[in-house]
Amino acid sequence: MSLDVVVFFVSAIVAVFGATMVIIQRNTVASVLYLIVSLVAQAVLYVQLGSLFMGAVLIIVYAGAIMVLFLFVIMLLNLRGREDLADHSPPVSRFTKYLVSVLLFIEMWFIVKSGFFPNTVGGGIMAEQQGTFGSVEDIATILFTRYLYPFELTSVLIMAAIVGAVVMAKRDRSDSSPSVRTRGDKPARTTGDEAGN
């Protein structure tokens, strides 16, 4: 068994394990951390496939920035797992949800195994690299020439997302007093906690 196979199996198992724990975990902070584990394992797979730059970007942007955003929100909402988040749908419906996922996987399995895809070429550290494939230079050349227009469009998308996020998460001043009054009808849990402290 060569080094490539060992690296592939270890990172594939870690990626799948982390992904499974994300949806099994009750604690939301723990599931964010498991997702980071899964992403790092996927970055190893990227590197194995020769795309070094995208592996680095996956760790920096995804595991570093987006997951921290998730952690921020979880800590902002102060979730402590007190809420009952169990699935209370009837057993038939719950069974159907699992069945759909398994059927989807079987479907994909048959597509992958159909022999439509090239089976001979593959990844690996030992696999011979062709020139500068996957380097920053290679990606930048194609990104700023052929894909310049989509690249500029993503900057517009990011701008729209920033404005949208700020507008949505902002507390509306003119609207805040009625919402406080309606919330006062229910037992105000957060206010009680603050008074207790």
Partner 1 sequence: MIPIVAYLIVAAVLFCIGTAGVLICRNIIVMFMSIELMLNAANLVLIAFSRALNITDGQVFVFLVLTVAAAEAAVGLAMVITLYRNRETVNIDRFNIMKW
- Say whether residue 173 binds partner 1 (CB under 8 A): no
CA distances from 178 to 92, 169, 191 (A): 42, 18, 17
CB-based contacts of 160-169 (< 8 A; 24+ apart in sequence): none
* Least distance in angstroms from the C-beta of 195 to partner 1: 17
Q: What is the CA radius of gyration of the chain?
A: 23
Q: How many CB atoms lie within 10 A of CB 38?
A: 21
* Least distance in angstroms from the C-beta of 119 to partner 1: 5
* Contacts (Cβ under 8 Å, ≥6 apart) of 94: 87
CA distance 131 to 139: 13
- Say whether residue 97 binds partner 1 (CB under 8 A): yes
- Say whether residue 195 binds partner 1 (CB under 8 A): no
- Say whether residue 69 binds partner 1 (CB under 8 A): yes
Report the site for partner 1 in 151-170 (rule: CB under 8 A).
Answer: 151, 154, 157-158, 160-162, 164-166, 168-169
- Say whether residue 31 binds partner 1 (CB under 8 A): yes
Report the site for partner 1 in 103-122 (rule: CB under 8 A).
Answer: 104-105, 108-109, 112-113, 117-122
Report the site for partner 1 in 128-147 (rule: CB under 8 A).
Answer: 130, 133-134, 138-139, 142-143, 146-147
First CA to last CA distance, the chain: 60
Report the site for partner 1 in 34-63 (rule: CB under 8 A).
Answer: 35, 38-39, 42, 45-46, 48-51, 53-54, 57-58, 61-62
Size of the site for partner 1 (CB under 8 A): 94
Q: At what angle do helices 67-77 and 28-48 cross, to 10 degrees?
A: 180
